[in-house]
Structure 1
């Protein structure tokens, strides 16, 4: 097991860091002020498109996509992409600049892996070009969606069209004014085997019968402009050509989508925790109480030491999961993906909490990313499957290795 990064990855890391320092750091305060202005809710930062073009020109584009898609993708392995995602995770809002933000990354992977040629032409190409954004509609308010077999939205074939009815929430990306298409999971056959009832279908956001009920906040953060929405689908009609892969293939697609998506989240969480470590370490050099600098207190040194250990543990586990995915595929890597999905959000939440405590009033205010990152880490203990589901499945898998039940 070799975690030395390839020359290609090292070169991209250096280019990414230089790009951030040159083009993003100088306007960071301007971005934060824009986001904190309530008049800008659901508006896009005016300079984002210019930055995206600069990133594309610099070859820092679609870094996440593991297969080679010509000039639009560098064709990195998961292990090569991991440090890049960590770098972007330190300033979580910048992922879109490099066309590497969720849910677009997962949706592009679905279309690249499972989409028809016409679906790729219509939706994948503009997504890969950064011309549009997308949403993913899976979770529902009426059922416990941690068990996806509970999902009730109906996708019924009527002639040459599918008719969709249901209500979704936590529909990531749906509030963005550039969001043009959603991937929706629902039931095409409620009488089939429980893992063959579900399908996924592409639905344009401007279609008749799709109504955005409200945006949803995460611990007070609306994550504008992409956000998370509650959506009502009432007799929405789409061509049967919009179905992805085929009826009853929804779980198969979900597993193909969520494996990389989960580890991408973990990579970014390591970056968020590293940001928290750096900011709290710097704070110990700046402040003093009772005649002593913060760094002279053993309790503060212990908190920083624990944080450094926990970040490195999570980083190495993330790299191990990425390596297993590259060598054996997502299915064979499912146990270690579950491990890191359990470990990374909990680790980040603890490290960020320590940073908030050391920074005091500044740590819970609007002048750092810490409160927002804390909210994201807490949310990611639920997103893409709650801790309990991953522990349930991982425990079952571990027990099976040592005997039959």
Structure 2
């Protein structure tokens, strides 16, 4: 009897810690009246009126000039509220690691060097407790990306309210991630750092990449009778059905990656990180290569650099016409995903307008990830993936999300943090008595 009782209690505890139940498909029409709609393409609509039917946006108009049609649900917000497209987190490991110290919950990397066939999407845990912490800040979509090796694998784009990875997927296997070698290496370690010296293996490492791409090209142009899954996964890079995401920060590395693109006839390339991409911005624009920029809230790479360079980087690229979005790779990257809108807010304080900064995590990100047909802006016939905030969503002091929708489904904004807040709030109230 005691064993039975204990079993039930453990089940109840585990259920109480589980992710919120995904919302059902939209079955009622929704009309949002009032507030300022931030379209996501650089424009706004004050006193907006937004119609959502069958998961799609029917229209976004000036509510003062249009008579509202009858809808099943009407949400009226005041003029100080703001409506935004769902924010997008590229190059994310959400759902691939739950607890860093528990190896069994870590699916972020695979053994080996050349792994284009590794599919991050099948390891994605849609019930991750970390995922639900992103939604209250408006982050509703993410690109799930593997790490490790020279070629890490393929990424996929998901929406962040689903039962499983099959339900979550928005665009599967949309790109291959290549970790470009560094032309320099640091000596020493963090407690006793040394200097910076040239990477003597740099050219050999690039040759190994080129050899693999040449091998895959020859294989794909042949009869392909003897199937090789790693080489099969490379299919689409030259046709443009897949993107090549090159993780590189240095100026030389980025220039070499552009030469690699031309030599191998890669149709679509994206630089991930791109800390010094502003130095080759003209070449990036000419080659139609976009940038998923290194984390904004970070220190400069070199000790003698402008301490504010990470904040200015986005403006330097945008002003040059390079398609740019923000990503969050780095220390505690999964937990920090919720801060993505505030990175954009920092960019707005260092050279961009608020609407330009907003594009870094909406329309620009959607275009880079190849989902702009349905996501990234508040426009007719696009997915009704959006949220309402009582304040400026790029400002951590005023952002307070009251409603959020993914494909027209009103999703939960509760999280484990809310439960803990209520729990310990009750504790202190008890102590006052």
Whichever structure has more helix as a proportion of its residues is 1
* Bigger RCO of structures 1 and 2 (CA < 8 A, at least 6 apart): 2
Fold shared per TM-score above 0.5: no
TM-score by length of 1: 0.26
Whichever structure has more strand as a proportion of its residues is 2
Which one has the largest radius of gyration?
A: 2
